[in-house]
Amino acid sequence: MNTPLNSQAVTIVLTGATGGLGSALAKALSAQGVLLVLCGRNHIQLEQLNHALGGQHHCIAGDLTTSSGRQAVVAYCQQFSRGIDALINNAASNHFGPLKQMNETNIQKMLITNLMVPIELTRLLLPVLGKADKAQIINIGSAFSRLGFPGFSVYSACKFGLRGFTEAMRRELVDTTITVRLFAPRTISTAMNDDNVTAMNKALGNQSDSVESVANQFIEFFQQTHLSEQFLGWPERFFGCLNSINSRWIDQGLAKKLPVIQRYWTGATK
């Protein structure tokens, strides 16, 4: 049974709040009456988002890939005497293309943003989360959290790692009041996926969900605290399960699609 969210009981930290999915999550959560701590790089965009939501939320502008940016979030959250009820690690970055064409900067950016930031922010906020009667950490994963995909080698590695971190922390904190969970959408129609990714998905017949649809499903997941993880989309969920059973079957299927994938990662959209 779903439990309605309560504005006086729920304070949520949301990273990547001004992104496509982030702003949709902020809108959906705000509609439930919660108090949000909106985190992002751009102060003006955060304030604009807050204004659009009614102006009652908190904004923290900073670069979470830096220690000072993360510490600013922690220091701000320490003002809540009863702690915070949830941390949603949503901030992410992506790069589509073969590993051989990537450079160290591309790789480091994804590893830090997609994996190190949620790990470090979780570590730093554990004492604040521990003050609440019950608290959640929800990491935003991906279909690629259990299905490695050509052209997304580093992104897949990050999301696999995030799933492993989620699983380990859920078990590590089982004797506390903090639950750790994974919410994993399939492809979403956002600016994070460039025109080449969009064209490739169309050519392959891959479906893409709207941010509003994903945000609505997130609200349901947030309320169903007995669920450890949720993967969205069919057949993506099926292929993810199949990959866990016998990855060779998925290898064979993707090998047939590789020429199409390669066509789009070179930028030669058609």
Strands (E), 191-232: 229-231
Cβ-Cβ contacts under 8 Å for 153 (sequence gap 6 or more): 98, 99
pLDDT score for 126:
98
Helix (H) or strand (E) run with residue 226 in it: none
Class of 11-265 in CATH: alpha beta
Torsions phi, psi for 36 (to 5 deg): -105, 145
Distance between CA 30 and CA 173 in Å, rounded?
Answer: 28
Residue pair 249/62 in contact (Cβ under 8 Å)? The answer is: no
pLDDT score for 9:
61
- 264 carries an active-site annotation: no
3-state DSSP helix/strand/coil % of the chain, to nearest 5: 50, 15, 35
Q: pLDDT below 70 — which residues of the chain?
A: 1-9, 266-270
pLDDT score for 174:
96
DSSP three-state, residue 5: coil
pLDDT score for 266:
66
Residue 10 structure tokens: 């729920």
- Name the active-site residue from 152, 155, 222, 239: 155
Tokens 């979403």: give the residue.
188
Q: pLDDT tens digits, residue range 214-236?
A: 999 999 999 999 999 999 988 77
pLDDT score for 188:
85
Distance between CA 168 and CA 201 in Å, rounded?
Answer: 32
pLDDT score for 8:
54
pLDDT score for 3:
37
From first CA to last CA, the distance across the chain in angstroms is: 47
pLDDT score for 4:
39
User: What is the domain partition of the chain in residue ranges?
Assistant: 11-265
Cβ-Cβ contacts under 8 Å for 246 (sequence gap 6 or more): none
Tokens 């999550």: give the residue.
25
